[in-house]
Amino acid sequence: MAQADFIRIQKYLSGIDYSADKDRICEHAQRNGADEEALETLRWIPEGDYDGPDKVSKAVAGS
C-alpha cells in the first residue's frame, strides 16, 4: 500500500480515541465516510487493540 493510502486511511480515523480495537476502528472510518477500498483494508488488520495511528498504519502495511 502506498504512503498516500496510509494518509487517506488516517483521515478517516480523524478524531478516534485510542486505544481502539479493530471493530471500533472500522466503525469510526465508516462514519467518517471511508470508501469501500479503505474499509476492506481495515477489515484485514489483525484483531487487537491499537494505541495510535502508527500501529494502525503498520497493521495496514502488513495486511
Check residue 31 and give its pLDDT. 98
Binning pLDDT at 50, 70 and 90, where does residue 22 land? Answer: very high
Query: Which class for 18: exposed (0-12), middle (13-18), buried (19 or more C-beta within 10 A)?
Result: middle
- Is residue 18 helix, strand or coil? coil
Q: Which three cell numbers stand for residue 1?
A: 500500500
Q: What is the pTM of this model?
A: 0.89
> On the CB side of 30, how many CA atoms lie within 13 Å of its CA?
12
What nine digits make up the cell of 13? 480515523
Q: Is 3's pLDDT higher than 60?
A: no
